[in-house]
């Protein structure tokens, strides 16, 4: 089945009692048993819920994976992956990550004796220099937030396979519409479902997708044992949102391209980060592993004045100044004080993230209105 058909139909079946075409919101914590242990596959909603199951199967299908697991947030999903590890284990990861991912690594799991190596992932061969007998996991994000760096997933997977390590890919920025890391050799795909999958800025949720049955069982055990599950209402909203994922993503990509090109031609803009430019250092990899370049665009203004950047963010009218991304409405974010404030300034600057950088999540409004808005805000 092709992507759009899967988005609408995968995992979803008419309700067996009424024929309702939409998956019901099974708003229940427990399920009646005929006799102890004699039930219809459902005992308690932390473990299993029919609305959540439909969504998990749907997201798994979109990632060409066998098993999907949904969590209370993207970070809840990341937390579950790290709980596969034990004290003394080591993780190799990028130095250009979502701020909350950096925070859970350094402020939570480092305290439990897990060691993290933050490295530049542009040259995948440097990964091998950091592998020790304790290394268990390589965690990458591509495109990265907010610098839109592209990491060669198949290149990293060749290394993790050789050394028998898990490769987890945060696929939030691309969404399964643009990129499927399992097909490129990853073991675990992670999503902040909050973003493009949900798509309407009304749900916080996370997901993992894997192919390996045993790994799926271990993650399902953690999902149930640690309990960061998502509720049936939110599962329903995301099932509904995903039905238009392919249509939304098409427009996000079109508008992203139009905005990136507009900004690049603007005399007051000094630099634009968007993987669709041929001048992007990893454009060739982006072209090979992604179907299009997405709706995320970052930029800086000439003169590099924080005051100018802030003024521009205060002036936008169609764009809203807010955290998050991937919704139908366009947002603009100041990573240094918002999404990436949990990364120390020195670390941010080492990764090339300036305090004057503005990040846009280009929505699916009419591109002409978005460009008009940027024109009046930049001046």
Residues with active-site annotation: 46, 98, 170, 195
Q: If binding is defined by CB under 6 A, does position 146 make contact with ligand PLP? A: no
Q: How many residues touch ligand PLP (CB under 6 A)?
A: 16
Of the ranges 52-60, 153-161, 167-175, 218-226, which one interacts with ligand PLP (CB under 6 A)? 167-175
In angstroms, the CA 10 to CA 54 distance is 8
**Length of the chain in terms of residues written:** 379
Q: If binding is defined by CB under 6 A, does position 143 make contact with ligand PLP? A: no
Q: 49 or 73: whose CB is closer to ligand PLP?
A: 73
Q: If binding is defined by CB under 6 A, does position 99 make contact with ligand PLP? A: no
Q: If binding is defined by CB under 6 A, does position 178 make contact with ligand PLP? A: no
Q: 101 or 223: whose CB is closer to ligand PLP?
A: 101
Of the ranges 87-95, 192-200, 312-320, 365-373, which one interacts with ligand PLP (CB under 6 A)? 192-200
Q: If binding is defined by CB under 6 A, does position 95 make contact with ligand PLP? A: no
For residue 379, the minimal CB distance to ligand PLP (Å) is 29
> Given strand 90-94, what is the order of strands in its sheet?
67-71, 206-210, 188-192, 166-170, 135-141, 90-94, 115-119
Q: Which of 62, 75, 245, 312 binds ligand PLP (CB under 6 A)?
A: 75
What is each CA distance from 169 to 51, 101, 179, in whole angstroms? 26, 12, 11
What x-and-dash track marks residues 102-141 binding ligand PLP by CB under 6 A?
Answer: ---------------------------------------x
For residue 37, the minimal CB distance to ligand PLP (Å) is 36
Of the ranges 57-65, 98-106, 233-241, 261-269, which one interacts with ligand PLP (CB under 6 A)? 98-106
Span 283-322, contacts to ligand PLP by CB under 6 A = none
One DSSP character per residue, 221-234 reads HHHHHH--PPPHHH
Span 35-64, contacts to ligand PLP by CB under 6 A = none
For residue 222, the minimal CB distance to ligand PLP (Å) is 16
What is each CA distance from 364 to 87, 180, 183, 243, 258, in whole angstroms? 45, 23, 28, 16, 12
Q: Which of 194, 298, 330, 333 binds ligand PLP (CB under 6 A)?
A: 194
For residue 205, the minimal CB distance to ligand PLP (Å) is 6
Of the ranges 15-23, 30-38, 187-195, 280-288, which one interacts with ligand PLP (CB under 6 A)? 187-195
In angstroms, the CA 147 to CA 351 distance is 9
Q: If binding is defined by CB under 6 A, does position 79 make contact with ligand PLP? A: no
In angstroms, the CA 209 to CA 217 distance is 12
Q: Which residue in this structure is represented by tokens 């005051």? A: 307
The residues facing 144 across adjacent strands are none
The answer to whether the CB of 140 falls within 8 A of the CB of 153 is yes
Span 203-242, contacts to ligand PLP by CB under 6 A = 204, 206
Q: Which of 58, 160, 192, 211 binds ligand PLP (CB under 6 A)?
A: 192
In angstroms, the CA 269 to CA 265 distance is 8
CA 363 to chain centre: 16
Q: 294 or 377: whose CB is closer to ligand PLP?
A: 294
Q: 205 or 309: whose CB is closer to ligand PLP?
A: 205
Sign of CA dihedral 253, 258, 276, 271: negative
The answer to whether the CB of 199 falls within 8 A of the CB of 328 is yes
Phi, psi (deg, nearest 5) at residue 301: -95, 155
For residue 47, the minimal CB distance to ligand PLP (Å) is 22
Residue nearest to ligand PLP (CB): 74
Share in percent of the chain as helix, strand, coil (round to 5): 40, 15, 45
In angstroms, the CA 140 to CA 160 distance is 12
Would you call 303 helix, strand, or coil by DSSP?
A: coil
> Which residues here bind ligand PLP, judged by CB under 6 A?
73-75, 98, 100-101, 141, 145, 170, 172-173, 192, 194-195, 204, 206
């Amino acid at each position: 089945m092709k992507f759009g058909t899967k988005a609408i139909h995968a995992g979803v079946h008419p309700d067996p009692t009424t024929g309702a075409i939409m998956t019901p919101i099974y708003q229940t914590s427990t399920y009646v048993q005929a006799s102890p242990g004699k039930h219809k596959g459902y005992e308690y909603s932390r473990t299993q819920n029919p609305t959540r199951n439909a969504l998990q199967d749907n997201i798994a299908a979109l990632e060409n994976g066998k098993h999907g697991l949904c969590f209370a947030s993207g970070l809840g999903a990341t937390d579950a992956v790290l709980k596969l590890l034990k004290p003394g284990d080591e993780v190799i990861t990028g130095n250009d990550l979502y701020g909350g991912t950096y925070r859970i690594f350094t402020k939570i799991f480092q305290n439990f004796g897990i060691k993290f190596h933050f490295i530049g992932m542009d040259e995948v061969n440097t990964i091998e220099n950091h592998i020790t007998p304790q290394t268990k996991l390589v965690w990458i994000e591509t495109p990265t937030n907010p610098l839109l760096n592209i990491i060669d997933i198949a290149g990293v997977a060749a290394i993790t396979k050789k050394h028998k390590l898990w490769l987890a890919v945060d696929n939030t920025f691309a969404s399964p519409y643009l990129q499927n890391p399992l097909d490129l050799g990853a073991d675990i795909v992670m999503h902040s479902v909050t973003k493009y999958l949900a798509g309407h800025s009304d749900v916080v949720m996370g997901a993992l997708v894997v192919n390996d049955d045993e790994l799926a069982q271990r993650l399902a055990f953690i999902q149930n044992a640690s309990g960061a599950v998502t509720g049936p209402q939110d599962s329903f909203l995301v099932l509904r949102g995903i039905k238009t994922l392919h249509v939304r993503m098409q427009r996000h990509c079109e508008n992203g391209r139009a905005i990136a090109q507009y900004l690049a031609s603007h005399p007051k803009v000094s630099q634009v980060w968007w993987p669709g430019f041929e001048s992007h250092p990893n454009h060739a990899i982006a072209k090979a592993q992604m179907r299009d370049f997405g709706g995320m665009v970052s930029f800086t203004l000439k003169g590099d004045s924080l005051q100018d950047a802030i003024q521009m963010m205060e002036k936008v009218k169609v764009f809203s100044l807010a955290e998050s991304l991937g919704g139908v409405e366009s947002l603009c974010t100041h990573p240094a004080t918002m999404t990436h404030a949990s990364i120390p300034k020195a670390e941010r600057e080492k990764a090339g993230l300036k305090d004057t950088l503005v990040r846009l999540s280009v929505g699916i409004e009419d591109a002409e209105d978005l460009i008009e808005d940027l024109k009046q805000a930049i001046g």
